[in-house]
């Protein structure tokens, strides 16, 4: 009936992404919907059965559970469900049940797929994948991604002497001059101080308003790098203020542009390799936050960014080993320095402590062990000075426990596998991510690694304990389409994208690697290898990889945002800072992770 169709159109106009459709298309789509009513406790569809279309709740509430009966979420009006199964293989990826009297509008699968193919708003909303638009060209970068630091400014009444002190202390060559509400009035530069103040012998008490460049040309954060280049060349200026609706938000200088083009992982590694002191290396690693913001701004994939950042840590470690050997002399027996944790997985971000260990040949004497302990202390101290802070749990080679001959390491792993107590589970989780960094004893690790994987895979009790340990980190899902945020303290109302986001996926990938005796240490590589080995189904692996990509990317984007604001990067994100679109997709990603955890917890690997 026409009345019903008009009612559906009115409803769809309040639901995204239907509100983006042209009027004629919206009318056609409204006619395609099938209205279905469900009594309380009625099953809407069952896990792994064919799903007939996309469900949109018009009235009531729906309970979504995973394949093992675990509660995933409670959905209310205007929420959609069923899209993951449609886009994957046509089979329901969850189970849906009405928790009260419910009315759903069901969009046929062909119509749903046509909308995704035709309208970008639908494709973006229902597709968790993020495009990998990579750009290294400064001309195509957004101005917001080129701003190196938070804005520095003074008031128009500030004396030129105080303005000069501000620039000196901040190591900058310009300041914005602002009025109330940070409205930009002008800029003052070192050149202004030299040419207008000193050359004219003006007193130091002169207000900056008398010598500033008033009403300077500016650009918004949404402008491109090419706009900056054109203005600087045409007007022969070296400082360009960035404003948003008149408010001063940053300054771009020629130095920033040069630095952007000069900072790359290759340049940083070159500078590390040529460094002669730890202090020189620390100056290089201090540029990593800028590299991170540049790589995020260039829309590189998260696995590329973390790999490049980890490469720098590897180079620092190897350079410190060279310095240590130069100080202590040649090693008495072959040894191998290994990284574990995020460095071992090649997944370091802007926040990283150090996790490492040292293995040396069994022929080492007590005197030789003293040599390696001294070497480990030099390297760990150097890493700490370079920003890779000491591990809070002391899982470092400078701790005697983690600086041992190969036979002791064999005993360690055998003990953890045969007696999987809580400490053994925790240590094994870290040490199963080992990756050689430096030294010449690679054969020792290869033999130990193969032997350990085989031993672990055969011990079902150990694997069960590792699975139990991996489920301690859970996604921060609230029941009513929200997030379970931190309730108190410094990070109140935030979620931890590391411990409750990427770590649960890393734990799952490690379990798959153990079950399949797979050699990779990197999380994404483990998931791909698990799919190829049949440890996890193609659809399960694809869902989990997409979820991991989104979570890891949001984590890096959040760190880059903090760095640009002049703050230290961390792993805490406030969901309120996200758009509805971003919150929806992040929550969907967490749902996938919880579903896969549930499958592993029930001794299943979502194998088809």
Each residue of 561-570: pLDDT tens digit?
Answer: 999 888 899 9
Asked if 334 and 442 count as a contact pair (C-beta separation under 8 A), the reply is no
What is the per-residue pLDDT for 605? 42
pLDDT in tens, 53-79: 999 999 998 988 877 777 777 788 888
3-state helix, strand, coil in the chain (%, to 5): 50, 15, 30
Cα–Cα dist 254/228, whole Å: 9
pLDDT tens figures, 294-346: 888 878 889 989 998 998 999 999 999 999 999 999 999 999 999 999 999 99
Residue 604 has pLDDT above 60, yes or no: no
Q: Please tell me the predicted confidence (pLDDT) of residue 73.
A: 72
Q: What is the pLDDT of residue 481?
A: 60
Q: Is the peptide bond before 255 cis (omega within 30 degrees of 0)?
A: no
- The b-or-e profile of 491-506 (16+ CB within 10 A means b, else e) is beebbbbbebbbbbbb
Query: What pLDDT does 603 receive?
Result: 63
What does pLDDT average to over the chain? 88
With contact defined as beta carbons under 8 Å apart, do 554 and 560 qualify? no
Mention every residue, 6+ apart, whose C-beta is less than 8 A from residue 144: 221, 222, 297, 564
Residue 132 has pLDDT above 50, yes or no: no
pTM over 0.75: no
Q: Is the alpha carbon torsion for 390, 395, 399, 402 positive or negative?
A: negative
Buried b (16+ CB within 10 A) or exposed e, 420-429: beeebbebbb
Q: Which of 510, 511, 553, 544 is nearest to 303 (CA)?
A: 553
- What does the CA dihedral 86, 92, 98, 102 come to, rounded to 10 degrees? 20
Name the DSSP letter for residue 200: T
**pLDDT in the model for residue 607:** 38
Most confident range, picked from 230-244, 370-384, 452-466, 588-602? 370-384
- 348, 314 in Cβ contact below 8 A? no
Higher pLDDT, 517 or 545: 545
- Poorest-pLDDT segment among 412-416, 430-434, 500-504: 430-434
What pLDDT was estimated at residue 547? 94
Mean pLDDT of 222-240: 84
Token pair belonging to 399 = 């701790």
- How far, in Å, are 50, 330, 396 from residue 157 at the CA level? 72, 64, 54
Which letter does DSSP use for residue 336 in this model? E
Show the tokens assigned to 162: 């105080």
């Amino acid at each position: 009936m026409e009345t019903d169709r008009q009612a559906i159109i009115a409803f769809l106009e309040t639901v995204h992404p239907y509100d983006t459709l042209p009027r004629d298309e919206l009318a056609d789509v409204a006619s395609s919907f099938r209205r279905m009513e469900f009594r309380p406790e009625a099953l809407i569809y069952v896990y792994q059965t064919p799903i007939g279309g996309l469900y949109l709740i018009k009235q009531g509430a729906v309970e979504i559970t995973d394949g093992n009966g675990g509660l995933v979420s409670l959905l209310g009006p205007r929420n959609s469900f069923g899209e993951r199964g449609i886009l994957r293989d046509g089979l329901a990826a969850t189970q849906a049940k009405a928790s009260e009297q419910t009315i759903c509008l069901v969009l046929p699968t062909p119509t749903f797929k046509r909308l995704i193919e035709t309208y970008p708003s639908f494709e973006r909303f229902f597709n968790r994948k993020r495009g990998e638009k990579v750009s290294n060209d400064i001309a195509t970068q957004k101005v917001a991604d080129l701003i190196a630091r938070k804005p520095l400014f003074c008031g128009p009444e500030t004396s030129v002497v105080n303005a000069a002190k501000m620039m000196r202390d901040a190591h900058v060559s310009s300041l914005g001059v602002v009025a109330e509400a940070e409205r930009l009035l002008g800029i003052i530069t070192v050149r202004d101080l030299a040419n207008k103040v000193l050359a004219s012998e003006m007193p130091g008490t002169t207000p900056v308003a008398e010598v500033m460049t008033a009403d300077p040309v500016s650009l918004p954060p949404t402008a491109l790098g090419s706009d900056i280049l054109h203005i600087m060349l045409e007007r022969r200026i070296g400082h360009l203020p960035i404003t948003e609706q008149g408010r001063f938000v940053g300054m771009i200088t020629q130095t920033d542009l040069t630095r952007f083009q000069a900072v790359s992982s290759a340049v940083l590694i070159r500078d590390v390799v040529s460094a002669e002191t730890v202090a020189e290396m620390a100056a290089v690693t201090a540029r990593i936050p800028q590299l991170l913001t540049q790589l995020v701004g260039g829309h590189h994939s998260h696995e590329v960014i973390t790999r490049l950042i980890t490469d720098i840590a590897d180079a620092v470690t190897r350079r410190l080993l060279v310095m240590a050997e130069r100080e202590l002399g040649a090693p008495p027996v072959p040894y191998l320095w290994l990284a574990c944790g995020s460095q071992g997985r090649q997944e370091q971000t802007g926040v990283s402590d150090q996790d490492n260990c040292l293995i040396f040949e069994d022929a080492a004497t007590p005197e030789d062990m003293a040599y390696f302990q001294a070497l480990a202390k030099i390297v760990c101290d150097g890493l700490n000075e370079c920003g890779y802070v000491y591990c809070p749990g002391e899982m470092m080679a400078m701790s005697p426990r983690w600086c041992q001959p190969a036979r002791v390491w064999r005993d360690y792993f055998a003990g953890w596998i045969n007696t999987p107590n809580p400490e053994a589970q925790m240590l094994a989780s870290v040490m199963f991510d080992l990756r050689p960094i430096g030294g010449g004893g690679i054969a020792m690790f290869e033999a130990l690694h193969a032997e350990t994987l085989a031993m672990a895979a055969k011990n079902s009790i150990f694997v069960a304990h590792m699975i139990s340990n991996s489920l301690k980190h859970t996604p921060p899902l609230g029941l009513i389409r929200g997030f379970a945020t931190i309730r108190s303290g410094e990070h109140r109302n935030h979620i931890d994208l590391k411990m409750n986001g990427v770590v649960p996926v890393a734990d799952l990938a490690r379990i798959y690697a153990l079950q399949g005796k797979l050699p990779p240490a990197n999380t994404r590589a483990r998931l791909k290898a698990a799919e190829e080995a049949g440890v996890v189904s193609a659809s399960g692996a694809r869902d989990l990889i997409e979820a991991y990509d989104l979570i890891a990317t949001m984590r890096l984007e959040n760190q880059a945002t903090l760095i640009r604001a002049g703050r230290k990067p961390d792993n805490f994100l406030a969901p309120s800072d996200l758009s509805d679109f971003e919150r929806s997709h992040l929550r969907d990603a967490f749902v996938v992770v919880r579903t896969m955890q549930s499958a592993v917890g029930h001794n299943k690997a979502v194998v088809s």
